[in-house]
Structures are given as C-alpha cells and as structure tokens.
A and B are shown apart, each in its own frame.
Chain A
Amino acid sequence: MDLLSNLALGFGVASSLQNLMFCLIGVLLGTLIGVLPGIGATATIAMLLPITFQLEPVSSLIMLAGIYYGAQYGGSTTAILINMPGESSSAVTAIDGYQMARQGRAGTALAVAALGSFFAGSVATFLVAIFAPPLTAIALKFGAAEYFSLMVMGLVMSVALAHGSVLKALAMVVLGLLLGMVGTDVYTGAPRFTMGMTQFADGLNFVAVAVGVFGIAEILRNLEDEHDRQVMTKNITRLFPSRDEFRQMVGPVLRGTAVGSVLGILPGGGAILAAFASYTVEKKLSKHPEEFGKGALAGVAGPESANNAGAQTSFIPLLTLGIPANPVMALMIGAMIIQGIVPGPNVVSEQPQLFWGIIASMWIGNLMLVVLNLPLIGLWVKLLTVPYFVLFPIIMAMCSIGVYSVNSNPYDLFAVAFFGLLGYVMSKLRCEPAPLLLGFVLGPLLEENLRRAMILSRGDPTTFVTRPISAGLLVLSLAVLVLVFLPQIRKRRDEVFTESDA
C-alpha cells in the first residue's frame, strides 16, 4: 500500500536525530509561548523565520509546525489556570477549565486537556495522512454562501455557550458583532468606527480583545476578593483524573476530535468554530447541562480535543493546495517560499519527503507534548501559589509584550486596557465574555461572506437555500435553535417567577 510506504518514508525523515531535535525545540518553544499569556504562535513564528534560513527545509517546517501545535497545548494551560486564553480556540477551554481550577481541580483539568489533545492530535494526524486530498476537495466546495451559513450556525451555537441569561448572552453576541465591524470595509474601503485613527483601519486585534475581556478583567476581579485564590490552591487533592473521570472524558474527546477534524480543514474561522461547536454538542448531550460553566469536565475535554484536531487538520489545505487556513499557516507558506519551495498541489508529488516528514513529525511532536506536559502539570499548578503581587505584574507585562509583538501597534495596548475595563464591568453585570468573543470573530466573516455571496448571485438571496451545503447548514442551525429554545420556553412556563439568572 502506498500509504504505508509513504508513512515509512515520513517517519524515516522525521526520526533522524536532527529532525527529532527540531521537533522537540518546536514543541518546547510552542508550549512555552502558549503558557506565556498573550504571546501567540503567530508572533513567535514570525520572529523565528530568519533563523530558518540556515536550516534544511524539512527541519525548519517541522520546527515551525511544532511551535504551532505546541502553542495549542500550552494555550489551554493559561486558560485553565488564570482564565487567560492566548489563542481564540482556547477561549472555550477557559469557561469550564477555569471553574475547575477554582474548585481545586486544576490538575485534573490540565491532565484532561493534555490527554484529550494528544488523542485528538494523533487521530487528526492520521486523517491528514489518509484523507488529505479528498478533504481538500470538500473545503473547496465552500463558497461565500456556505461560509455565511456556517457562520450563522456558529452564532446560533454561541447562545448555548451562555450558562446564565440567554438575553444577556444575545446582547454579548451583538456587542461582539459590533466590535467586529471596526475597521475598513472590505468592499468599499470606508473606515467604520475607527474614530479617525488609521491604527484601527484593520480592526481591533483579537488578542487584545481576548486578553482584555478575559485576563485583565479577571485580574481586576481577583484583586477585589483575595480569599478566592486560597480556595483554589488549598483544595488540590490530586493532580490526575480518577478512573471515573477518565470514563467521563471518553465520549467528549471522541466527539470533539470528530468535530475538530472536520471544521479544521475549512480555511478561515473553521478551527475557531470547532471548539465552540464541540462545547455546544457536549452541553446538549450532557445529562447534567447545568454543570456547564461551573466546571464541567466534558466542557474541557471536548473543546480541547476539537481545537487540537482542528490545528492538525488545518495543515491539509496548506500541504495539498498551498492555501493558508489561518495566519500561522500564512507564515508557514512564507517559510516555504523562503526555502525555495513553491507551495501548491505539487508539493506532495515533488517533495514527498517534506510532505510525509512533516506529517510524521506531527505525530511524534504530539507524543513529545504529552510526555512533556503531564509531568509539568504539578509545576503549573504550583504557579497558582505564587502571590498576587508577583504573578499579576508578570502577567500584565507578558500580555503587553505579546499583544504589541503582533503588529508593533501601540494602539493595540490601549485596546487591552479598554477591554480590560469593559470586561470588568461585564463581570459586574454578570455578562459573559465568551459569546462576545465569538461574535467578534464571526461577525466580520459573516458580513464579508454575506455580501460576497450576494454580489456573486447578483443580488439573489435564494442562493443560500438553493446551494445544497448552505441549505443543509441553515437547516442544522434552525434545529439547534429549536433545541436550545424549547427547553428554555418550557422552563419559563414552569417557573415564571424564578430568576434564572445565576
């Protein structure tokens, strides 16, 4: 079988001493920057690009890929421990992961995240190896109308993220959508809500908004009541999940892997949706949906598996088509061009040792990550015992450096400060940041694709229902909507006078 000989070739390349070492350097660096709040894979890879000049093409790409999926692992660590998601996909992990940490189950949450990620990463790598070409064909079937419908589905799902008032969640989604409008209109070039500052011409920086509403707001909130933290560290009884908890995580991990693998191949927003979608699925399927938002194990296991699976499968369009699915992949393309490799469909046939070497290294890298991360859990949890007056200034400094390093734009730092305050006010009003973030990410994509689809159909709105994939997604959104609201309506009828806002 071709696959076996290809995989053998790949593992041959990836397990050379040099490549193993670059893989290790990559995942180590990735874990490190993932753990440091605010510093993302994009900035790190951009900074390391010049160094890759000196390396073999395979080695440099193996290292850069390692940084990328290593950061996915590490990013969940800060999301769980200090409620500070470094990557958009770990925003979901923060919801229940941080609650688990507050209950003294930080070790369990970290272990579940690491094991779920490892499983998802392994499966997704295997999928990349077998199905890369056919999966690419599916991704190409997604035009503007399909993306619009996919984003609609994402927004519908965002309501399920709320564990309090649905009305407040909707308000947050809408606020997120509005924030997402800041910047230059793609179609007319008109600046919107930029207040005349060219620095906001490309919109608000995602990392700035996320760090602000999650992290800074959390720090401000923590400064109010110190005793909260003592609970966090005192209650730690064990670091690893119990047998029962292992059983609980099997289903969510399997489903998260499936959702993540599928959505990860879609360029633009697919990987972000994966984590949100998985959370929605788990909450719907759970026998105890009321636990979600208060430290549900499935709320960590599912989305973590989904985002790692998505991170791996987002290599598919890159490797088979030379198309970047996200900014990190765009950098990888730059790295390939610097090495004199023309990204495109020819890479698989002309550079088999490169293509299969990277795939094999992804599996090896995932193994390294789980081996590295499990023993580190104890160390990360110890971080929680670091006193506030030491930890918080460090976090703030790291965040500022990280946010600034993306674009060297000082206005991004003003945005962090502003959204920190906004996030604090929101937490006082018991509004949740996750739906806001989803609205912020999906809003621009929704609008861009809606308008593109309308231009392409020459103003005919039926394009959304006459194209089968788009119609299917819309029907699915409708189904989710009904599923979400039916119990809500029924509950309202039962307990009209009870305030469900907790």
Chain B
Amino acid sequence: MITRRILLGTALALSLAGTAAAEYPDRSITLVIPFAAGGSTDVVGRIVAERMSQELGQQVVVQNVGGAGGSLGAQQVAQAEPDGYTILMGTVATHALNPLILKQKPYDPVADFAPVSLLVLVPNVLAVNPELPVNTVQELIDLAKKEPLAYASSGNGTPLHLSGELFKAMAGVQIDHIPYKGSGPALTDVLGNQVPIIFDNLPSASGHISSGKLRALGVTTAQRAPSFPDVPAISETLPGYETYSWNALFAPAGTPPEAIEALAAAAKATMADPAVAGRMAEFSATIVASTPAELAEHVKAEMAKWEPVVRDANVTME
C-alpha cells in the first residue's frame, strides 16, 4: 500500500536526519493544538509541525485537544512535564482573551508558560452581505446609527466577537452580536443574508470575498493585508483600531533553555522555508517568527490591549 510506503520513507528520512541533530530532541514531540482539527489554528499547526519535524530530526506529532475555547488544551500543556516534549500552539484566545474573560483561571498565560516563538499574525476582516447597501466602513457606521443591525461571530468571547465589540466602542454604534458555534455556521448565515454583517478570520472568508459573495469593508490589522491590497484597513476610518489573531508556540514554564532555543531555531528555519512561507501567504498570514523574548513582550502587550475592551464589553465566562 502506498500509505505504508510513504510512512516508511518518511521514517527513514527522519532517522537519517536524526543522526545529525543535537541531543535534544531524542524522541517525538507532541504539539497540542487547543482546537478541533480543520480550523485555521489546526492548519497552521499542521503545516508548521510537518516542517519542524524535518528541522528537529524528530517527529512533531499534532494532538488536537479542543474544548472550552482553547482553554483545555492550554491547561494541559501548562500542567505537562516541562521537558520540551510537549508544546502548545497558542493563540490570542489562549494567551490573552480567555485569561481575561474567564472568572476561574485554569492557568496563568505568563507564569505557567515558557514562550518559544510568535509564528504568524492572521488578519480578521469586517465583511457584509452584498445586499446590505454599504460600501465602506463609514457608510456602515452611518447606517448603524440609523437602523438596528446585527453581526455574526464565531462565538462568545472569541477574538472575532471582541473585534466586533472594539469596533462598536470606537465607532460609537450599537450592533447586536449573534454568536455561532464556530466560523462556518456564522459564514453560512451571512452568505444567506440571515445576518448582514460578520467579523471573521481573513483566511476563512477570503474565498467568499474574492468571489463577490461577501463584500469586505475592512481588515482589522493596522495595515492592509498583502493578499487583499484593495481592501482598506478599518484603522483608515477609525484611527488606532487594530486587532488580529495570532499563533505562537509555547512550552510549559520550567522547560530547559536548550530545548526552548532548539525549538525557536527550528521554528525560525521553518518559517523561512519558501514553501511554508508560500502556504502562509495563501492563507493571508503574516510571518513573524520571533524570538522567545519578543513573544513574552507580545503576550504582555496583548493582555494590556484587550483588558479594557473585555472590561467595557462586559464579556465574562465562568
């Protein structure tokens, strides 16, 4: 069978690469993805795990531990043995929003983790059904001041919900929030014009934007996204507006520095690979590939940025 042949081939290639690698790692590494398979974090994680396996000379095995908006997987890694063999694909949800939103904190995003590398930034997008008579962010704000509107998001307390809440606060408008269980059903209802507006990850909405089934009003990053140069940034209308999703590798606190360095170096090499970079560009993700220290700063900055938004929007979960 072909699958077996491929597996054997991969195993052989890995064992050859393994002889050239340093002491760490000497066995396979588990990359915990705190969401179900198939989502954007999962896709980024699998692409990265594939390439990092080659860099490290050991298989990086993806394990999906979904649940509680990413908290379960993050908690599992926070409590894992700090030996460098269990790492987490953290996101803005696990390392900024959930810790701010949850009343009972299952883990501390700073004290319980050793940052490895901030891999990518993923823009979000504000889009509307083409039947809604607005073409710009300003027109949407004007319309929202006149009549009641609603926007869909992938769920309560998700980065997309809070992107919407930040937008409402900065624009001074009231738009009803309709949470869904994930981005897919939210998109469906906006495509069917059941709900006119959506905040979504750019990668998941991009196909619908280029086909014209959705009208993108603005991306949430400070600058325009390279994959959609014609779509303005929301900050062009609302100066200072900036949100994005991000993916970063974390190890449990107390992981040996050599392991962190090896992982960070592998992550940097992975993101520098043109094939990976190409995939990420198709995905509208911007590559960062930071150092561990830069990721630590990033987490602090994100916590500081979201704290007032979460407080003002009055989003809490138990």
Contacts and interface: CB of A to CB of B under 8 A. Distances in A.
Contacts of B43: 334, 337-338
Contacts of B189: 143-144
A230 interface: no
A408 B32 CA distance: 11
Contacts of A49: 37, 46
B257 interface: no
Interface in A317-362: 317, 321-324, 327, 330-335, 337-338, 340, 342-347
A211 B308 CA distance: 45
Interface in B50-76: 50, 62-69, 71-72, 75
Nearest to A346: B211
Given A51-B7, A345-B213, A187 B67 contact: no
Contact of A189 (B63, B279, B283, B316): B316
Given A49-B46, A455-B150, A323 B184 contact: yes
A498 interface: no
A340 B191 contact: no
Contacts of B181: 186, 448
Contacts of B185: 267-268
Contacts, number: 160
A408 B176 CA distance: 36
Contact of A202 (B3, B49, B67): B67
A452 interface: yes
A6 B242 CA distance: 45
B211 A344 contact: yes
A186 B192 contact: no
Interface string B149-192: 01000011100000000000000000010111110110111011
Given A140-B192, A322-B207, A455-B150, A331 B67 contact: no
A184 interface: yes
Interface residues of B, number: 65
A500 interface: no
Contact of A191 (B67, B150, B318): B318
A243 interface: no
A133 B69 CA distance: 34
A189 B315 contact: yes
Contact of B156 (A139, A189, A338): A189
A54 B72 contact: no
B210 interface: yes
A502 interface: no
Given A342-B282, A456-B194, A408 B63 contact: yes
B252 interface: no
Interface string A30-69: 0000000000001001100111011000000000000000
B106 interface: yes
Interface in A405-427: 407-409
Contacts of A346: 207, 210-211
Interface of A: 21-22, 25, 42, 45-46, 49-51, 53-54, 139-144, 184, 186-191, 198-199, 201-202, 267-268, 317, 321-324, 327, 330-335, 337-338, 340, 342-347, 407-409, 448, 452, 455-456, 458
5 closest Cβ pairs, A-B complex: A344-B207, A334-B38, A140-B192, A143-B194, A189-B317
19 contacts: A25-B1, A140-B191, A186-B180, A189-B156, A189-B318, A201-B68, A201-B69, A267-B185, A321-B188, A323-B187, A323-B191, A324-B184, A334-B46, A340-B278, A344-B206, A344-B207, A345-B213, A407-B64, A452-B178
